[in-house]
Chain A
Amino acid sequence: MSVGGVPGLITVSRRRKGMRSYADLLSTPLIVLLGGAAVALWVSTRTLDDIEARALQPSAILSDLGQHLILTAYSTLFVIVIAVPLGILLSRKGARRIRNVVLAVGGFAQALPPYGVLVLIAFAPAPFGFNPFSVIMGLVAAALLPVLRNTVVGLRQVDPALIEAARGMGMSGRATLFRVELPLAVPVMMAGIRVALVLNVGTAVLATFVGGGGLGSLIVRAQTLNRPIVLVTAGAIVAALALMVDWLAGVAERLVRARTS
């Protein structure tokens, strides 16, 4: 099951002004709210039997949701910690040759089916195995490329004249990186991080198959029970989560862009 619109191309959308930008800022939470209310209304009109009531217990759902968020947060964090410094290194002049090699390997990693990667990792020797650590590593492998690529692209597209101006005024290479290059690359990097985050939220649904828990467990339970009401509720929660995470990342991206450009 794949969740959320994962864009294949990472484009930095133009800044739009005026009412329009507020409208599309509000539309996602509005849709989530209306959809959630509709499902909740539908569930409340039905009398639940024992099995359904147990499956839809708030405490169970919340625990799955919590696990899911932890998996997503850690995997995204690791992606950033690995891909951003690596991207900075690859963006340097001296790394011209190795840059394309690494990006190609990254593309290969992303092209692998996440489920296969998870299973492979789960059968790998310790510390891998059927545990959340394996899940997180699998998610990191699958979501590394967008952040890596956007970090490299974001840094490479900084106008060389600005770097020359900085160096020409006596800024060190390091200061130029932190005060000029990175701030100007951040919007593009944020777009990559957003994609990684949404990928991770979606792929984390598979965690349950390799002992990682998360909202996938809720869906599996619903399927084995074969109760439509549980299935619909589980699906709605996963979809709402993916939409909200994407929305939050979009808001963050927009704030960053407004500050730096």
Chain B
Amino acid sequence: MSETTTNPHGIAEGHPDQRPMIVLEGVSKTYPGQTIPAVAELDLAVPRGSIVMLVGPSGCGKTTTLKMMNRLIEPTTGRILLDGEDVTGVNADQLRRRIGYVIQQVGLFPHFTVGENIAVVPRMLGWDRQRIRQRVDELLELVGLHPREFRDRYPRQLSGGQQQRVGVARALAADPPVMLMDEPFGAIDPVTRERLHDEFLEIQRTVRKTICFVTHDLQEAIKLGDHIAIFTAGGRLAQYDTPEGILSRPANDFVAEFVGSGAAVRRLHLIALSTLDLDEIATGSSPTAAALVTVPLSGSVYDAVDAMLDAQTSVVAVVDDDGQAVGALRWNTLVEKLQLRGLHP
């Protein structure tokens, strides 16, 4: 991805289907009766099939930005293009049925069952019952809720995290090409959240949706985002870049402070173990392969370092899906490799 030419937004240009899916041009929003804009002069291009994370302090205009994309809020100035088409020109209801929307407050209908909640958009689109039913079960399965157990429950019979997952399933229901997600995993415990992240990325690898995802959690932004937009209070865009770019080249003090200390450690998340040349295993004298701490090949350097520190060892074995060791990673060689990659300061 680093070889293509990039414009100021960091978006690759050229191929027609690389035309951005969502474009904001000079978009501002000032709420009636307020003097300071909630969003100010925002230019943003969201590439087709990619995930853009909107990050920033509370009240910086993330939700406002999302709602302007599906016209729940009309911008005061500027233009919003969806797939090259100005959104103000199309019927708002029709537009929204093509855009999955996960609202910050989850917003499940309390008088509908989980299944009926998920079926809202498909019903509006006139799908037949059989197809809707299949889709509901498929989606529940996807978000890790057993259809038979959860389909006929009411939202009040679910935990906050389960409700959020139903909210995501509901937004995915009609398979919209664009998804706007406002802190969809906010109320989910770290372990489940981690699992959902992995599944989310797995799904995204196959369905390739264009996703705008709001979060407060920089870690989540780094893990999920192809690009990250960091907002400052007052609705200004402080930096729009890839996760690497944000972590290694903060554009200004605000971003540097927002990223905070520990950027170097965070960057370790971005290096997949599978991209490293690993040492051969069992060539060394000291610990034998069987005694080594193992990390999965699908993990990142962060996981490997975490395992080393946790076990107080300077070497870990990297294993594939079947548990077969494919190589070893040593602390010293790791540091050298990172220096070679130019990823360390």
- Interface residue total, chain B, C-beta cutoff 8 A: 22
Given contacts A170-B121, A170-B124, contact A161 B105 (CB under 8 A): yes
Q: Which residues of A contact B106 (CB under 8 A)?
A: 161
Question: Contacts A161-B103, A169-B96: A183 and B120 contacting too (C-beta < 8 A)?
Answer: no
Does the CB pair A183–B111 fall under 8 Å? yes
Interface centre among A161, A165, A175 (most CB of B within 10 A): A165
Contact B93 A184 (CB under 8 A): no
CB distance from B324 to the nearest CB of A (A): 47
Proximity bits, A94-127, B CB within 8 Å = 1, else 0: 0000000000000000000000000000000000
Q: Does A260 contact B (CB under 8 A)?
A: yes
Q: Are B105 and A168 within 8 A (Cβ)? A: no
Q: Mark B199-210, 1 if CB is under 8 A from A, else 0.
A: 000000000000
Q: Which residues of B contact A159 (CB under 8 A)?
A: 105, 107
Minimum CB distance partner of B121 in chain A: A169
Please give the distance in Å from B87's CB to the nearest CB on chain A: 13
B330 lies within 8 A of chain A by Cβ: no
Q: Which secondary structure dominates chain A's binding surface?
A: helix
B70 on the A face (CB < 8 A): yes
Which chain B residues (97-136) contact chain A, with CB distance < 8 Å?
97, 101, 103, 105-111, 120-121, 124
Contact, CB under 8 Å: A170 / B72:
no
Which among A164, A184, A260 is the interface contact of B107 at CB below 8 angstroms?
A164
Instruction: Give A163's nearest chain B residue, CB to CB.
Output: B107
Contact bitstring A235-261, B, C-beta under 8 A = 1, else 0? 000000000000000000000000111
> Is A180 at the interface (CB under 8 A from chain B)?
yes
Residues 199 to 220 of chain A near chain B (Cβ within 8 Å): none
**Contact between chains at A171 and B124 (CB < 8 Å):** yes
Contact check, A171 vs B103: say whether CB atoms are below 8 A apart.
Answer: no
Instruction: Find chain A residues with CB under 8 A from B93 CB.
Output: 170-172
Interface residues of A, count at CB 8 A: 19
- In the complex the two chains form, is A167's CB within 8 Å of B96's CB? yes
* A169/B101 in contact, CB under 8 A: yes
Contact assessment for A162 and B96 in the assembled complex, using a CB-CB cutoff below 8 Å: no
B94 part of interface (Cβ distance < 8 Å)? yes
Cα A180 to Cα B70 in complex, Å, equals 20
Chain A residue contacts of B238, Cβ below 8 A: none
Residue of A166, A167, A261 contacting most chain B CB atoms (<10 Å): A167
Note all chain A residues with C-beta closer than 8 A to B111.
183-184, 259-261
Q: Are A184 and B110 in contact (CB under 8 A)?
A: yes
In the bound assembly, the distance between CA atoms of A260 and B72 in angstroms comes to 27
Find out whether the CB atom of A170 lies under 8 angstroms from the CB atom of B94: yes
Q: How far apart are A256's CB and chain B's nearest CB, in angstroms?
A: 11
- In contact, A180 and B103 (Cβ under 8 angstroms): no
B82 close to A (CB within 8 Å)? no
CB pair B103 A170 closer than 8 Å: no
Q: List 16 A-B contacts (CB under 8 A).
A: A159-B107, A161-B105, A162-B109, A162-B110, A164-B72, A164-B103, A165-B101, A165-B107, A168-B96, A169-B171, A170-B97, A170-B124, A175-B124, A183-B111, A184-B110, A261-B110
Residues of A whose CB lies within 8 Å of any CB of B are: 159, 161-162, 164-172, 175, 180, 183-184, 259-261
Known: A161-B107, A165-B101, A165-B109. 20 other contacts (CB 8 A): A159-B107, A162-B107, A162-B110, A164-B72, A165-B103, A166-B109, A167-B72, A167-B96, A168-B101, A169-B96, A169-B101, A169-B120, A169-B124, A169-B170, A170-B95, A170-B96, A170-B97, A170-B121, A171-B124, A183-B111
